Amino acid sequence: MAEDAELRTDVLVIGAGGAGLYAAIEAARQGAQVLLLDRSLIGRGGATVMAQMTVAVALGTEQPDDPAFHLRDTLAAGRGLCDPALARLLCEEGVEVIQEMDAWKTGWARHADGRIRQAHAPGHDRPRCVYVDFLSTGPAVSRTLRTQAQRQGGIRRMGEMLVTDLVLADGRVQGAVALDLAHGRAVRIAAGATIIATGGLTRLYRRNSASANMAGDGYALALRAGATLIDMEFVQFFPIGHLAPRLIGMDPIMWDPFRYKLGGRLLNSEREEFTDRYGAPPEGGRYVVTRDLATYAITKEVAAGRGSPAGGAWLSFEHVPEAELRANFGPVIDRLAANGIDLTKTAIEVAPIAHYHMGGIRVDTRMATDLPGLFAAGEAVGGANGANRLSGNAITEALAFGRVAGRQASALAKQEGIAWTDPRAREALALAGRAGAVRPGFNPAAMFAALQATMAEEVGAFRTATGLARAATRIAALAAELGEAPPGAPLPHDLARADWFDLRAGLLVARAVVLAATARTESRGAHQREDHPGLDAAWTSNQTVTLAGGRLALGQQPVAAAA
Amino acid sequence: MSIAILSIHRGGPGEAPRRDVFEVPFEAGQSVLDGLRWVREHTDPGLAMRYACLNANACKECMMRLDGAVIYACTARLEAREMRLDPLPNKPLLRDLVTAIAPPDERPPDAA
């Protein structure tokens, strides 16, 4: 009986980053009642708000451009594994959503004559990346969408809701069970259609550029419900994440805009440029090397004993005059000074940091998963970016896929209506809300840190069969320690209980990554196997992961033909 | 090794407020949020606090009081001394350092 559920909605959107907010706005515009949930506060958590700068879109304001050219670069970056239909959708729909965002007053940076400015990012054949300000594109995008979601009627927004399970009946997703973190209780949500927009999995790594709520929980929801994941082995490392000296109040990926503006020099311990030794074009003070190559080059130099003292590479702006640094990054230069860093006198240390996940939930071009009633959007989707994502494609993907998912979910909900079968939710309801046996000494926060250490050490930018096997063993041990139910009674803002659910999801998703990474005996894009160097044309296929009876199953499918 | 001493408000609405004191290894260049996360990983995972973006000063969720003044825990420097941490004043207390800071129409309803 639908009356049993505490909340009812046509369209349930899980996650209020760029993809979820756009999906909610579009679904509501199509006439659906929408419930937009986030485990954090609305429009504050997730990855979008942390984006620093670039949003790739073929507007052609600097040079003539076309989505077909953007698509060509996206497919090239993906090293042969992109789903061309999804990549095309990103590039084409991207133009419309960025223009709509402009009409909503995002404040894209402009030339004096009114043209939107576009920066030239690595991997693109021409200037194609719009931005707001060098360090605040993400907050501006979030703010714009948040305002629009408030203006658009029909969207009930609710933060502090951690969705723990999807609820199925007759093979169809009928809603979800969530842990209301504010009150510490389980809540049933009946929905005509459900969209997962929870982002990726980069919090599974010790050093990451993600917010605290990006640990693959959406992938786990989809897997446990019976949907298929794809390309799980491809985790993008951002090559120049800040490493040393320690500084506070700065995003570790802050050096990207510096490189766009000022170039900078990436150096090894001998103070030599080195990325060209690994196949990158000579830098010559410009920012040209792609993310997978730079990550590979830095990791190799460190392994060869030519790393910086903290185990990364030097990034130097010492040759850039102070006036030029100030003209471009005045307020940031002050914040760096407060941390004791003077870029004219010292280089800083950088190293790869987990940044984005190319893999995710398998969908078609309607953002529909294999499961009736379930859609996905944004980074949670796998396939558009293949083995390596092009700079600037993440926000475009979030907004474009969000809009498509919102439209399609709205149509489905209107057609199918809301059903709810309470007995199906019973188990999930008990898990989220019931008091478990108290376990003295049980520390899920420490266990999560142990998982992050394992992923960083064994499943990072460089992988081997033996390291992946060690990771599988440690993950299994952590899963055994986790047990079948969270200990203790739920409390208001119970982070330990949230950690338990994060571990349940994160350990399952980590298993999926290890499984796919172990099977792929080649090196391609973001997946580099030390024991299988070089790309193997026989591996030009996508791997899928499904869950049945508690066991993960790996599948293989040919790369989709060009759309 | 020098240490930072975090004296933290504990408890929820209606409970007699108490303080717990935690010693945290101190290293220059750490934030108060780093110290609080250390406490959860090593001493008391039950400590309630609010944060999302970790260190980017983007989410604005980690607002609390340090020695009476409102700060963001991610941008306040951890120091090798006793630091008193309290929840925001004039916001409904949920537990420990967490208050209800979301707009009222974006909170889970009190009676579901």
Q: What is the CATH number of the domain that holds A452?
A: 1.20.58.100
Q: What pairs with residue A276 in β-bridges?
A: none
Give the rounded distance of the alpha carbon of A375 from its chain centre.
Answer: 17
**At B88, which CATH number?**
3.10.20.30
Distance CA A55, CA A140 (A): 12
**A372 and A315 share one domain:** no
Residue whose token pair is 């030599």: A272
Residue whose token pair is 């907010």: A21
Q: At what angle do helices A444-458 and A495-519 cross, to 10 degrees?
A: 20
- Split into its structural domains, chain A has a count of 3
Please give the positions of A annotated as active site: 291
Q: Which two tokens stand for residue A154?
A: 């029909």
A562 part of a folded domain: no
A555 part of a folded domain: no
Q: At what angle do helices A393-416 and A84-103 cross, to 10 degrees?
A: 90
Distance CA A456, CA A341 (A): 27
**A21 and A165 share one domain:** yes
pLDDT tens, position by position, A251-299? 888 888 888 888 889 999 999 999 999 888 777 767 778 788 899 999 9
Distance CA A293, CA A276 (A): 10
pLDDT tens, position by position, A255-266? 888 888 888 899
- Split into its structural domains, chain B has a count of 1
B53 part of a folded domain: yes
Chain A CB contacts of B101 under 8 Å are 41
Minimum Cα–Cα distance from A38: chain B residue:
B106
Other residues' Cβ atoms within 10 Å of the Cβ of residue B75:
18
Above 50 in pLDDT, residue A133? yes
State whether ipTM is beyond 0.85. yes
Contact in structure between A241 and A348 (CB atoms under 8 Å): no
Alpha helices by DSSP H, listed for A78-125, are: 84-103
Choice between A289 and A425, residue whose per-residue pLDDT is larger: A425
Other residues' Cβ atoms within 10 Å of the Cβ of residue A330:
9
Of B37, B46, B54, the CB nearest to A211: B54
Report DSSP state, residue A33: -
Check residue B111 and give its pLDDT: 67
SS3 A8: strand
Nearest to B85 by CA among B42, B76, B94, B46: B76
What is the torsion angle, in degrees rounded to the nearest 10, for the CA atoms of residue A407, residue A412, residue A415 and residue A419? -130
Distance CA B53, CA A493 (A): 17
User: Domain ends where: A402, A425, A448?
Assistant: A425
Nearest to A189 by CA among A171, A163, A152: A163
Average pLDDT of chain B to the nearest whole number: 93
A216 part of a folded domain: yes
Q: Which two tokens stand for residue A277?
A: 């030794």
B108 part of a folded domain: no
Query: What is the nearest CA distance from B83 to chain A, expressed in angstroms?
Result: 17
Size of interface A-B (CB pairs under 8 A): 134
Nearest to A14 by CA among A378, A519, A486: A378
Residues of the domain holding A525: 436-543
Q: Which two tokens stand for residue B44?
A: 């008391």
Check residue A134 and give its pLDDT: 67
| Of the candidate ranges A167-171, A172-176, A289-293, A338-342, the one whose mean pLDDT is the lowest | A289-293
Q: Which residue of B40, B43, B99, B105 to mutate against A (max A Cβ within 10 Å)? A: B40
As a whole number, mean pLDDT of residues A74-94 equals: 97
User: Domain ends where: A306, A331, A353?
Assistant: A353
Of A157, A212, A492, the CB nearest to B52: A212
SS3 A10: strand
**A220 and A272 share one domain:** no
Above 50 in pLDDT, residue B47? yes
Other residues' Cβ atoms within 10 Å of the Cβ of residue A31:
12
**Chain B: which residues have CB within 8 Å of chain A?**
12, 27-31, 34, 37, 40-42, 45-61, 72, 74-75, 77, 94-96, 98, 100-102, 105-108, 110, 112
**A211 and A320 share one domain:** no
Q: At what angle do helices A18-29 and A137-151 cross, to 10 degrees?
A: 30
Distance CA A422, CA A420 (A): 6
Distance CA B109, CA B107 (A): 6
Alpha helices by DSSP H, listed for A162-206, are: none
A446 part of a folded domain: yes
Of A49, A180, A445, the CB nearest to B53: A49
Helices (H) and strands (E) in chain A, counts: 13, 19
**At A335, which CATH number?**
3.90.700.10
Whether the predicted model's global pTM rises above the 0.80 cut: yes
Give the rounded distance of the alpha carbon of A62 from its chain centre.
Answer: 29
Chain A CB contacts of B58 under 8 Å are 44, 49-50, 138-139, 251
Contact in structure between B78 and B4 (CB atoms under 8 Å): yes
**A521 and A459 share one domain:** yes
Q: Is the peptide bond before B104 cis (omega within 30 degrees of 0)?
A: no
Above 80 in pLDDT, residue A105? yes
Nearest to A235 by CA among A439, A435, A455: A455
A3 pLDDT band (50/70/90 cuts)? low
**A411 and A322 share one domain:** no
- State whether A41 and B52 contact (CB < 8 Å): yes
Query: What is the nearest CA distance from A71 to chain B, expressed in angstroms?
Result: 31
**A402 and A307 share one domain:** no
A431 part of a folded domain: no
**A164 and A18 share one domain:** yes
Give how far Cα A431 sits from Cα of A5, A24, A177, A293, A501, Å.
16, 28, 10, 44, 10
User: What b/e readout covers A108-123, taking b as 16+ CB neighbours within 10 angstroms?
Assistant: beeeeeeebebbbbbb
Other residues' Cβ atoms within 10 Å of the Cβ of residue B79:
16
pLDDT tens, position by position, A520-550? 999 999 999 999 999 999 999 999 999 998 8
- State whether B52 and A491 contact (CB < 8 Å): no
Above 50 in pLDDT, residue A1? no
**A24 and A56 share one domain:** yes
**A330 and A460 share one domain:** no
Residue whose token pair is 């805009």: A257
SS3 A437: coil
**A259 and A276 share one domain:** yes
SS3 B78: coil
A318 part of a folded domain: yes
Other residues' Cβ atoms within 10 Å of the Cβ of residue A389:
29
Choice between A287 and A370, residue whose per-residue pLDDT is larger: A370
Query: What is the nearest CA distance from B55 to chain A, expressed in angstroms?
Result: 5
Above 70 in pLDDT, residue A2? no
Nearest to A399 by CA among A118, A93, A124, A172: A93
- State whether B102 and A446 contact (CB < 8 Å): no
A239 pLDDT band (50/70/90 cuts)? very high
Check residue A184 and give its pLDDT: 95
Query: What is the nearest CA distance from B45 to chain A, expressed in angstroms?
Result: 6
Chain B CB contacts of A443 under 8 Å are 41, 45
Distance CA A121, CA A62 (A): 13
B107 part of a folded domain: no
Distance CA A359, CA A85 (A): 15
SS3 A242: strand
Of B30, B45, B61, the CB nearest to A44: B61
Check residue A145 and give its pLDDT: 97
A401 part of a folded domain: yes
User: Domain ends where: A384, A402, A425?
Assistant: A425
- State whether A160 and B98 contact (CB < 8 Å): no
B26 part of a folded domain: yes
B29 part of a folded domain: yes
B111 part of a folded domain: no
Choice between A485 and A335, residue whose per-residue pLDDT is larger: A485
Task: Express as a percent the part of chain A with pLDDT over 70.
Answer: 99
**A370 and A224 share one domain:** yes
Minimum Cα–Cα distance from A493: chain B residue:
B48
Above 90 in pLDDT, residue A108? yes
Contact in structure between B106 and A42 (CB atoms under 8 Å): yes
B68 pLDDT band (50/70/90 cuts)? very high
Minimum Cα–Cα distance from B43: chain A residue:
A443
Distance CA A106, CA A140 (A): 6
Check residue A51 and give its pLDDT: 81
Give the rounded distance of the alpha carbon of A285 from its chain centre.
Answer: 30
Query: What is the nearest CA distance from A129 to chain B, expressed in angstroms?
Result: 21
- State whether B48 and A492 contact (CB < 8 Å): yes
**Close Cβ partners of A537 (under 8 Å, ≥ 6 residues apart):** none
Q: Which residue of A495, A499, A502 to mutate against B (max B Cβ within 10 Å)? A: A495
B52 part of a folded domain: yes
- State whether A248 and B29 contact (CB < 8 Å): yes
Distance CA A380, CA A526 (A): 17
| Of the candidate ranges A203-207, A305-309, A335-339, B65-69, the one whose mean pLDDT is the lowest | A335-339
Query: What is the nearest CA distance from A273 to chain B, expressed in angstroms?
Result: 28
Q: Which two tokens stand for residue A144?
A: 């714009």
Residues of the domain holding B51: 3-100
DSSP letters, A480-523, are: HHH-SS--B---TT-HHHHHHHHHHHHHHHHHHHHHHHHH--S-
Chain A CB contacts of B51 under 8 Å are 212
A375 part of a folded domain: yes
- State whether B95 and A251 contact (CB < 8 Å): no
Distance CA A128, CA A137 (A): 15
Average pLDDT of chain A to the nearest whole number: 94
- State whether B108 and A180 contact (CB < 8 Å): yes
